Structure 1
Amino acid sequence: MLANRHSSFDRNPPVIIGGFPLSNDVLVVHGGTPLKGEIRVRGAKNLVSKAMVAAVLGDTPSTLHDVPAISDVDIVRGLLELHGVRTTMSGDQTLRMDPTNVVIAGVDEINVHAGSSRIPILLCGPLLHRLGRAYIPNLGGCNIGGRPIDFHLNALREFGAVIDKQPDGMHLSAPQRLQGIKYTLEYPSVGSTEQILLTAVLAEGVTELRNAAVEPEIIDLICVLQKMGAIIKVHTDRVIEIEGVDRLHGYRHRPVPDRIETGSWAAAALATHGEVFVRGAQQADMMTFLNVYRSIGGAFDIDDGPDGGIRFWHPGGELSPVALETDVHPGLMTDWQQPLVVALTQAHGLSIVHETVYERRFGYTAELRQMGANIQLYRECLGGTPCRWGRRNFLHSAVIAGPSQLHAADLQIPDLRAGFSHLIAALSAEGTSRVFGVDRYITRGYEDFDAKLAALGASVERP
């Protein structure tokens, strides 16, 4: 059972003992109990925060339904309120945003959020359109590989923004109305695609974006912008055309469900020999994951009803090894890789995973090896998907030999998705583990995390 639930992050510097922080930001996990029960997923974290930014473009209020109660939403709400956007959240997790009186926030106020989010860079286009200027503090986010903002800055310059780099950050201005551009991304980056969409919709003329990201959350953001009055055409071969308009109004929108959280709980069900019904999950955006899940030996059943979802379970017997490569959509999402690797430690044979999206995404495997997993990392590309890292000396391929009996350990969470993977490992391991950094990282992307563990019968507690 779960006891002493804590949801706030202790911002005071923790006392370090034995290499780990001594604070309430720790979960004690008694492993070996299969997860069984039902949880619900809300709107996708990777869409909700961007739809919140889009609200700044409108001249009337916007309403976003099914917003997850996660810390990333709180951070973006804080940023919007600093810029004069009034926000209210109702009990059914419906967020209303009124951008009528948008203002430029003070540098010191924005810097309070420096290092906690990468959202400020996406506010640039909307603020340049609304106010003619914007400011970007130093940006944060998970340390999983280089996510340079050069793509963003280059695109903003092409639109006509003037960027002045200062020690405290970057100050942007738009001496005249931003102009539509023709732009080709070197890589189909989600963040860069979002930046161009959020900037092009009010720019004068037509913007043509090539090699764009087309993830479900990108398409859902386009749906939001279209509801606001934007004219956006999605062509074949990753080409998006945006015809700038003179004004946008507010929207009402229910986001796509969070496919990352869905996959995380699915992997947890498989690794712990459990059964989890993820209410709210939808098949269409999970198809690539579901194919892999079935190949490994996991079972699932889809309920297409109005309040349906997907049931995931371990059907018994041996799990099968697989060869996987992460890729941009419609390939295997990089955020699914980490929880799936934990499940693959229980497969009989050798599995190969080639990471092609983030060059440092396998850092979390050191803790899994500490727990008894047999995982070897390689700098070579162990797969056929074109890869940016093959000649740059990054450990970006993994070979997992299984099955391995995992044993309890003290685990320090390095980032959001690795944190959930560590938790899955602790839940399936023999003995009692302590997982540090739960509130700091996992609550960024997983709503009611402690309550969901309790609903699934996890044997965990807060010290």
Structure 2
Amino acid sequence: MKSVLRVNGGQPLVGEITVRGAKNFVSKAMVASLLGTSPSVMRNVPEINDVQIVAGLLQLHGVAVSWDQAAGVLSMDPTNVDLAGAGEIEAHAGSSRIPILLCGPLLHRLGEAYIPDLGGCRIGDRPINYHLDILRKFGAEVEKYTDRGIQLSAPNGLVGTKYELNYPSVGATEQLLLTAVLAEGKTELRNAAIEPEIMDLIAVLQKMGALISVDTDRVIRIEGVEQLQGFNHTALSDRIESASWGAAALATGGEVMVRGATQPEMMTFLNTFRKVGGDFDITDDGIRFVHPGGKLRSIVLETDVHPGFMTDWQQPLVVALTQAEGLSIVHETVYENRFGFTSALRKMGAHIQVYRECLGGTPCRFGQRNFYHSAAISGPTPLTAADIAVPDLRGGFSHLIAALTAQGTSNVQGIKIINRGYENFLGKLEALGADVEMVEP
């Protein structure tokens, strides 16, 4: 039975909440702990499902994990790393895509690794081809193991390589970093992703003893070392969650103080937030997002890899754009199928049309591939309550924002998927004055 959240909308969100470490960094740093010969400690760890899944995967592979959830402190001791059973990995990993990133560290530590069928949010093509190709370049042997997974081995060890990505993929960049640091010799990656979460992962690896340099032209160079130690690190704040609450404040006409939010990683979002008509106040403790009253303004927006406008910011902001004067254009260039969530918004009264063409910007790689990757949002349109189903993590939070904005009572089905990336989101909603209740479907 799927979880259902009853939302009585139409009231502004007002109050303050706290955001902790970035989902897209913390899980990768946990994987990096496998590379060390001594324990690692990470602070500012959020209590989300993805952390629980990766902790379980590490424990299956012999890592001793201790997690003080209230304090946000996670300790990992990889001294007794061992192989896990294929069935155990498959059963525990569920929809997580993290197991693919365990391959490099496990090949270094144990000489073999196993990847189950990968899940995750169905927002576009996320092939593992890049990952497998990178691992082969280092000398890994990849063979089909079962209909549901792949077995890898490194009988001769892993050796540094040169690699250039066709697109600056975050996952592929993480794969290369986690594999190259202990590979023999030098590795060079061109057209690398340079997101803040990647840079924080590099900082962790450097603390462990890795030799990594990042050039201004998206080139990362790694000199392999013989051994790494554990790390002690405080995770950077989750810029996606912070922006999501900011968009919720804008859409509902409210004011939300997000403690823990940091300006440097959010400058592109903050510029856009201001262009739409929102206001914000930055303090040492966080960022206060405010709808100052008056009309919101339509914009033309294009998502891009860092330092561009993050794709994960797009969906929550689109809800706010339904309340803006005029025609907004949003061109999605990172994931080709990220506008599926707009069908629920149209059901609630939003005027949104999606297109195959590249609107409002330069042509992108999806323009000739028949994907609906551009959207035109005409507003302002009052939203009315509806029964809707969560499609994926970020789309699900956008549905939640829409339900909070809409007049009337909405039933949002499958709401628990939001626990993957938003810590205690129900408690935070209540702290902001939202009228919500979990009900039996």
Residue equivalent to 1:301: 281
Please, what TM-score do these two structures have when normalized by structure 1? 0.94
Give a deviation string over 1:210-255, Cα, whole Å, max 9, x none: 0000000000000000000000000111000000000000000001
Equivalent residue letter for 2:329: I
Question: 1: CA distance between counterparts of 2:412 and 2:202?
Answer: 38
Task: Tell me if 1:162 matches 2:141.
Answer: yes
Amino acid at match of 1:108: G
Asked whether the equivalents of residues 331 and 374 of structure 2 are also in contact (C-alpha less than 8 Å), the reply is yes
Per-residue deviation, 1:387: 1.1
Work out whether residues 104 and 179 of structure 2, in 8 Å CA contact, stay in contact via their aligned partners in 1.
yes
Per-residue deviation, 1:397: 0.3
1:322 match: 299
Q: Which residue of 2 aligns with 1:395?
A: 372
Paired amino acid for 2:84 = A
Equivalent residue of 2:324, what SS? coil
Counterpart of 1:49 in structure 2 is 27
Does residue 240 of the first structure (1) align with residue 220 of the second (2)? yes
Q: CA deviation at 1:385?
A: 3.5
Matched residue, 1:117 = 96
Instruction: Give 1:410-421 correspondences, 5 Å limit.
Output: 410-421=387-398
Q: For 1:113-161, what per-residue CA distance to the aligned partner results, in whole angstroms no more than 9, with x for missing partners? A: 3542000000000000000000000001000000000000001000000
**Structure 1 residue 62, shift from structure 2 partner:** 0.2
Task: Kindly indicate whether residue 18 of structure 2 is the aligned counterpart of residue 37 of structure 1.
Answer: no
Partner amino acid, structure 2, of 1:29: V
Matched, 1:98 2:101: no
Q: CA deviation at 1:347?
A: 0.3
Q: SS in structure 2 opposite 1:348? A: strand
How many Å apart are 1:33 and its aligned residue? 1.0
- Given candidates 437, 446, 451, the residue that maps to 2:414 is 437
How far apart, CA to CA, are the structure 2 residues paired with 1:320 and 1:461?
A: 32
Equivalent pair of 2:53/2:93 in contact (CA under 8 Å)? no
Distance in 1 (alpha carbons) for counterparts of 2:64 and 2:232: 16
Question: What is the SS of the residue equivalent to 2:297?
Answer: coil
CA shift digits 1:253-295 (9 cap, x unpaired): 0011000000000000000000000001000000000000000
Distance 2:148 2:120 in 1: 18
Instruction: Write the distance in 2 (CA, Å) between the matches of 1:399 and 1:113.
Output: 40
1:80 aligns with 58
Q: Give the match's secondary structure for 2:92.
A: coil
Q: Secondary structure at the match of 1:28?
A: strand
Is residue 288 of structure 2 the alignment partner of residue 311 of structure 1?
Answer: yes
- Tell me if the contact between 1:360 and 1:395 (Cα under 8 Å) persists in the aligned partners: yes
Indicate if the aligned counterparts of 2:256 and 2:288 stay in contact, CA closer than 8 A: yes
Q: 3-state DSSP class of the match of 1:113?
A: helix
Deviations 1:367-392 (Å, cap 9, x if unpaired)? 00000000000000003344110001
Aligned CA-pair RMSD: 0.8
User: Does residue 431 of structure 2 align to residue 451 of structure 1?
Assistant: no
Give 1:177 deviation, angstroms.
1.9
Tell me how far apart the structure 1 counterparts of residues 412 and 422 of structure 2 sit (CA, whole Å): 16
| Structure 1 runs (4+) greater than 4 angstroms displaced | none
- Alpha-carbon distance in structure 1 between the residues aligned to 2:175 and 2:276: 37
Alignment-mate amino acid for residue 204 of structure 2: V
Match of 1:209 in 2: 189
Pairs within 5 Å for 1:60-459: 60-90=38-68, 91-166=70-145, 167-303=147-283, 305=284, 308-439=285-416, 441-459=417-435
Separation in structure 2 between the aligned mates of residue 385 and residue 235 of structure 1, nearest angstrom: 26
State the one-letter code of the partner of 1:457: G
The one-letter code sitting in structure 2 at the alignment partner of 1:249 is Q
Q: Aligned partners of 2:7 and 2:306: how far apart in 1?
A: 34
Assess if the C-alpha contact under 8 Å between 2:161 and 2:186 holds in 1: yes
Report the AA paired with residue 266 of structure 1.
G
User: What is the TM-score with the length of structure 2 in the denominator?
Assistant: 0.98
Distance 1:388 1:57 in 2: 36
Contact 1:325 1:385 in 2 (8 A): no
Identity %: 68
Question: 1:290-340 CA deviation, whole Å, 9 max, x = no partner?
Answer: 00000000000000x2xx100001000000000000000000000000000
Where do 5+ consecutive residues of structure 1 fail to align?
A: 1-13, 15-22
CA deviation map 1:22-76 (0-9, x unaligned): x5x1110000111000000000000000000000000000001010000010000
Q: How many residues align?
A: 437
**Counterpart amino acid of residue 456 in structure 1:** L
Contact 2:57 2:93 in 1 (8 A): no
